[in-house]
């Protein structure tokens, strides 16, 4: 096999290293990726060869060990290095990436995007960034509502007598569902609930609710949590359900970067509430790049296999059988998928640039009015529609690429140890979360 691979690599028609630098964006990024890959390869904690044999409990236990190690690295190393590390881990161990990303991407992301500066400083001091004292989850989806965020049933009622909100699940369908990290590990939750002040509803807002005592891990009064158990994939994360029964939280635990509730009960809403939506686009943007990366991994496995697997010969006694990669029909099977993957790489790069420009534009708005706000809204709508469409298109495309690569391995593709069956199971959820693909195509 090594000789067959070397034979395919010996005379490329283009400079491989230069193309790698260009795809990664910079020579230094490539070298950093290779350094991180070597670290992961040599660290027993990141081995993947035994994944198919682990129980649900063992899978989750190993994920928690990884979280502790990566949390230390994430808070002590430069942000750029951490981002590169996470992009690699999302391919190596997507279930763990989700577990880690629920806190840093979703929970902490909600704080960054929706908390006032004073509130963000408060939660940073509590340990929200270092995961020392605060481990967060993201409570948007309910049993009865997923894509329809405006229809969420959880209620947060302001009590002016105590200066508190009362968070309550009034119905079974108001139960928070599929909440990653909730079943066993999260201490706090960014809960999306209907704001109710003085009998009037003000729409869905975000509230930080403590789920567990940070010392004993006992559930807080009024909080009920259950484990949703084994899933199709990504078992590294402990998805659970949450029900709230008249849980009281301080008024300051409502994130008030945009809408504010004063001590008097006065509600101050931003001129354009939809600007708060910008922070929620990030998940879809990242999934475009994730689709490209996972497709690259699947195609790498399939192409390498095709370069060493031999089938049939011309009948000459003693002659080697032909490699799969030399058959035009097999090339036709894989090369179009490779072209699609390159297209996703470029689309992800443009999508990320557009998103960063949007967030910069929104952060610079301040109290601006008029043309600046109009331009921001126009850009927000464009970025929303583009990210929604690309998320749907690319995740569907990647899922197909994984399965086509699996089929190209013949009978060997059915083995769990190829990594492709698990990749399919892990990636399939991308077509559902952060917005059902069919709904997103309508945006």
Confirm whether 434 is a catalytic residue. Answer: yes
Residue 234: strand, helix, or coil: coil
Provide the CA 381 distance to its chain's centre, in angstroms.
22
Provide the CA 268 distance to its chain's centre, in angstroms.
32
Residue 412: strand, helix, or coil: helix
Strand partners, 268: 260
223-231: long-range pairs with CB below 8 Å, 24+: 223/247, 225/182, 225/183, 226/183, 227/183, 227/184, 228/177, 228/178, 228/183, 229/56, 230/56
* DSSP per position, 25-72: TSHHHHHHHHHHHHHHHH-GGG--TTGGG--HHHHHHHHHHHHHHHHH
Which residue, among 437, 357, 354, has the nearest Cα to 399 in the 3D structure?
437
Alpha-carbon Rg of the chain, whole angstroms?
24
Asked if residues 397 and 389 have their Cβ atoms less than 8 Å apart, the reply is no
Considering 142, 153, 164, 434, which one is annotated as catalytic?
Answer: 434
Point out the residues that are catalytic.
434
């Amino acid at each position: 096999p090594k000789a067959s691979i070397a034979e395919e690599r010996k005379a490329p028609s283009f400079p491989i290293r230069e193309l790698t630098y260009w795809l990664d964006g910079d020579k230094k990024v490539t070298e950093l990726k290779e350094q991180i890959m070597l670290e992961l390869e040599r660290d027993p904690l990141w081995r993947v060869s035994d994944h198919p044999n682990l129980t649900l409990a063992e899978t989750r236990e190993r994920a928690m060990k990884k979280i502790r190690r990566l949390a230390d690295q994430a808070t002590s190393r430069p942000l750029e290095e951490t981002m590169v590390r996470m992009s690699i881990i999302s391919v190596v161990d997507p279930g763990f990436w989700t577990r880690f990303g629920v806190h840093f991407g979703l929970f902490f992301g909600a704080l960054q995007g929706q908390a006032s500066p004073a509130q963000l400083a408060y939660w940073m001091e509590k340990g929200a960034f270092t995961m020392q004292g605060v481990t967060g989850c993201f409570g948007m989806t309910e049993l009865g509502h997923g894509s329809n965020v405006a229809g969420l049933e959880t209620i947060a009622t302001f009590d002016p007598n105590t200066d508190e909100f009362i968070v309550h699940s009034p119905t079974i369908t108001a139960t928070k569902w599929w909440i990653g990290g909730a079943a066993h590990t999260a201490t706090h939750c960014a809960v999306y609930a209907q704001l109710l002040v003085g009998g009037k509803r003000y729409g869905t807002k975000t509230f930080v609710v403590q789920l567990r005592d940070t010392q004993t891990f006992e559930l807080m009064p009024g909080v009920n949590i259950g484990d949703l158990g084994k899933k199709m994939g990504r078992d590294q994360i402990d998805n659970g359900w949450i029900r709230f029964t008249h849980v009281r939280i301080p008024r300051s635990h409502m994130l008030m970067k945009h809408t504010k509730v004063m001590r008097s009960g006065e509600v101050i809403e931003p001129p354009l509430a939809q600007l708060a939506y910008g922070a929620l686009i990030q998940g879809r943007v990242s999934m475009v790049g994730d689709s490209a990366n996972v497709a690259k991994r699947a195609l790498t496995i399939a192409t390498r296999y095709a370069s060493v697997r031999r089938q049939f010969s011309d009948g000459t006694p003693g002659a080697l059988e032909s490699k799969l990669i030399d058959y035009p029909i097999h090339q036709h099977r894989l090369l179009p998928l490779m072209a699609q993957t390159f297209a996703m790489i470029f689309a992800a790069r443009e999508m990320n640039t557009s998103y960063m420009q949007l967030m910069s534009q929104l952060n610079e708005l301040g109290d601006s009015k008029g043309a600046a706000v109009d331009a921001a809204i126009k850009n927000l709508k464009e970025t929303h529609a583009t990210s929604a469409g690309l998320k749907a298109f690319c995740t569907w495309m990647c899922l197909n690429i994984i399965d086509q690569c699996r089929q190209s391995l013949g009978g060997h593709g059915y083995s769990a140890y190829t990594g492709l069956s698990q990749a399919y199971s892990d990636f399939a959820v991308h077509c559902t979360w952060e917005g059902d693909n069919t709904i997103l195509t309508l945006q």
